[in-house]
Amino acid sequence: MNSESNAPPESPNDPQAGVPAALSATRPLYWSVRRELWENRSIYVAPLVAATVVLFGFTIRTITLPRRMRALSALDPAQQRAALEMPYDVAAVLVILTAYIVGVFYCLDALHGERRDRSILFWKSLPVSDLTTVLSKASIPLVVLPLLAFAIIVTTQLIMLLLSTAVLVLSRTGAATLWTQLPFFQMTLILLYGLAVHALWHAPLYGWLLLVSGWARRTTFLWAVLPPLAICVVERIAFGTKYFALLLGYRLIGSMKEAFAFGAEPGTRTIDSLAQLSPLRFLSSPGLWSGLVVAATLLATAARMRRNREPI
Amino acid sequence: MPCIEARGLRKAFGTTIALDGIDLRVEEGRILGLIGPNGAGKTTALNAILGLTPYQGNLKVLGRDPWTERDRLMRDVCFIADVAVLPRWMRVWQALDYVAGVHPRFDRAKAEGFLAKTAIKRGSKVRELSKGMVTQLHLALIMAIDASLLVLDEPTLGLDILYRKQFYDSLLNDYFDRSRTIVVTTHQVEEVQHVLTDLVFVDRGRIVLDCSMEEFESRYLEVMVHPEHVAAARALEPLHERQVFGRSILLFDRVDRQQLADLGDVRTPSIADVFVAVMGNKAGAADGAAK
């Protein structure tokens, strides 16, 4: 451990001595995020395991790759492309789904576990504000997991690409079709855009999970899931409407509609061109901003609530 | 500026009154023992001082309102709530890294120095350490922080006698330096008697005794009375009387030492004996009033 880098940034005699406010504000945040990664190793282990599983399956499947590539040459370029992209999309989707599951369970435990094991008393004995703590925990699903998922997916896809190339070259099939038809760079851009869009869009959901984990004494999962379901049921029975259910559905998957432009004909849900990304429409959608306002409110409430939370 | 200043501090949990108008003033450089039976309100008082619980009344710690400025206050205040609050998943080096990262007044080299004197390994998880070692680790972290106020709530609960002795020894020898203030609650009163400079007895949310140890020693005297003087001694209205090996031991409050010396052997009572006497009399008085 380098002790110099950990030297106190302030002189002990004068607490107000010229430390930039930004430094003293971001240092506790930075260390709080690292603390979360120390405690919850599943944040990076689970997506890595998912990627390993995908790679394992893909490696076995490369045995038949040369035969499939030769069959592919009979198809038109668009179909070739779709077939080539498929395993790469599967890898991305599996890692992203894993990251979502990790994020949901992480949030449900984040402000609950520290009360359960009484360590909240230790954290509160240090000069870290409740807001910093809540923000550091919110940054896991909103920033850390998307970035991690991105890095893991791109690395996985690169390994897949190199593996396929090696197999094709060695089998004398040739990797030219693969390299010309697989839009690797474009896939990466779409992935990055999609991850960012979803993190922003889902922010209020994570805010809700964190709030419940800071509030509930036990069974955080039930408290997070059952009340919204109950509202849906009551609304359906009492008024015969399903506005709340539609609202929830919109919050879960509405970002696809807001952030991507799909083809005119119904049923096409594929994204195969950068032209389909519509960041301006996404940034101007009321759903995004209302969601962010709700998320900020939920996180502020969670921070305020943590102030008088005690071990349970 | 006093280190802690409370006026009319009140706190109720539903209908239970935990703090019933506490007035307390702790000056810098004192070591205050907060002594009271279970449920007297000690921990509630400490939680209010540490900004862990809202309260009514006036409270300033180092000139700040603990409830609204906890994070800022914690740069100058350290506390050990009890031995079991260090996160069990954490490794020793992670604890050092984290505290060094978030605390501007943490001296890492000092903490490493304290740890070097123990058997604690850098790579161990807290869950793998014994209860005594966890306390050593926590104390090493806390003592390396250049704080003005240290709050200890039952810091040696569940430790064996060796660790308890060591705990107060290092606190006095390596930490306390007259400019710091320490507030400690404990049931092991006899262990802190020689450590304290001030004493507060709390019962049912109220302060029943608040004095310095010098005052305590001049005010309270215990006499092992010669059998022939027992009647005379009782006439001086002792606070408390008990029998040890057939001899009467009487505890007096504010009675002239010379006068008592004629009746038997005079000595300074232990805090525990005075505590029993003061609390017992209160309970007796309450019973009498009820009848």
pLDDT digits (tens, 9 = 90+) for A82-104: 888 899 999 999 999 999 999 99
Domain shared by B29 and B55, yes or no: yes
Residue B164 clears pLDDT 90, i.e. is over it: no
Inspect the interface and report whether the beta carbons of B105 and A8 lie closer than 8 Å.
yes
> Does the predicted interface ipTM exceed a cut of 0.90?
no
Inspect the interface and report whether the beta carbons of A124 and B93 lie closer than 8 Å.
no
* Owning domain of residue A86: 26-306
Q: How far apart, in whole angstroms, are the C-alpha atoms of residue A305 and residue A171?
A: 63
Q: How far apart, in whole angstroms, are the C-alpha atoms of residue B268 and residue A121?
A: 38
Task: Examine residue A7 and state whether it is found in any structural domain, yes or no.
Answer: no
Task: Examine residue A103 and state whether it is found in any structural domain, yes or no.
Answer: yes
Q: How many pairs of residues across A and B have Cβ atoms under 8 Å apart?
A: 105
Which residues of B are less than 8 Å from A118 in CB distance? 81, 84-85
Residue A5 clears pLDDT 50, i.e. is over it: no
Please state which of the ranges A192-196, A205-209, A262-266 shows the lowest mean pLDDT.
A262-266
Task: Examine residue B209 and state whether it is found in any structural domain, yes or no.
Answer: no
Task: Examine residue A251 and state whether it is found in any structural domain, yes or no.
Answer: yes
**Mean pLDDT confidence for A134-142:** 97
Which residue spans within B36-100 are E strands per DSSP? 56-61, 77-80
Q: What percent of chain B has pLDDT over 70?
A: 95
Domain shared by B29 and B106, yes or no: yes
Which residues of A are less than 8 Å from B72 in CB distance? 127
Domain shared by B223 and B199, yes or no: no
Task: Examine residue B271 and state whether it is found in any structural domain, yes or no.
Answer: yes
Return the pLDDT at B236. Answer: 84
Look up the CATH number of the domain holding residue B49.
Answer: 3.40.50.300
Task: Examine residue B65 and state whether it is found in any structural domain, yes or no.
Answer: yes
Domain shared by B98 and B167, yes or no: yes
Inspect the interface and report whether the beta carbons of A308 and B52 lie closer than 8 Å.
yes
- Most A-contacting residue of B11, B46, B56, B103 (CB-CB within 10 A), to test interface: B103
**Mean pLDDT confidence for B125-151:** 91
Task: Examine residue B152 and state whether it is found in any structural domain, yes or no.
Answer: yes
Q: Closest approach of chain A CAs to the CA of B81, in angstroms?
A: 7
Domain shared by B160 and B29, yes or no: yes
Give how many domains chain A has, as a whole number: 1
Cβ-Cβ contacts under 8 Å for B50 (sequence gap 6 or more) = A124, A125, B66, B70, B77, B79, B151
A positions 125-184 inside 8 Å of B (CB)? 125-130, 132
Task: Examine residue A198 and state whether it is found in any structural domain, yes or no.
Answer: yes
Task: Examine residue A30 and state whether it is found in any structural domain, yes or no.
Answer: yes
Q: Which residue has the higher pLDDT, B157 or A245?
A: A245
Domain shared by B22 and B135, yes or no: yes
Return the pLDDT at A83. Answer: 86
Q: Last residue of some domain: B204, B224, B248?
A: B204
Q: Which residue has the higher pLDDT, A152 or B288?
A: A152
Return the pLDDT at A1. Answer: 40
Task: Examine residue A16 and state whether it is found in any structural domain, yes or no.
Answer: no
* Owning domain of residue B246: 216-290
Domain shared by B147 and B263, yes or no: no
Residue range B195-254, pLDDT digits in tens:
899 999 999 899 999 999 999 988 999 998 888 888 888 888 888 888 888 888 889 888
Domain shared by B51 and B186, yes or no: yes
Task: Examine residue A17 and state whether it is found in any structural domain, yes or no.
Answer: no
Classified as helix, coil or strand, B30 is coil
Domain shared by B154 and B250, yes or no: no
Short-list B52, B57, B45, B54, CA closest to B19: B45
Domain shared by B80 and B166, yes or no: yes
* Helix ranges restricted to H, A171-265: 176-181, 184-215, 220-239, 243-259
Residue B12 pairs with which residues in a beta bridge? B17
Inspect the interface and report whether the beta carbons of B103 and A39 lie closer than 8 Å.
no
Domain shared by B42 and B120, yes or no: yes
Classified as helix, coil or strand, B250 is strand
Q: Last residue of some domain: B148, B182, B204?
A: B204
Domain shared by B72 and B95, yes or no: yes
Q: How far apart, in whole angstroms, are the C-alpha atoms of residue A42 and residue A279?
A: 31
Q: In what order do the strands lie in the sheet with B77-80?
A: B77-80, B149-153, B181-185, B31-35, B198-203, B206-212
A positions 281-310 inside 8 Å of B (CB)? 307-308, 310
Q: Last residue of some domain: B149, B176, B204?
A: B204
Give how many domains chain B has, as a whole number: 2
Task: Examine residue B210 and state whether it is found in any structural domain, yes or no.
Answer: no
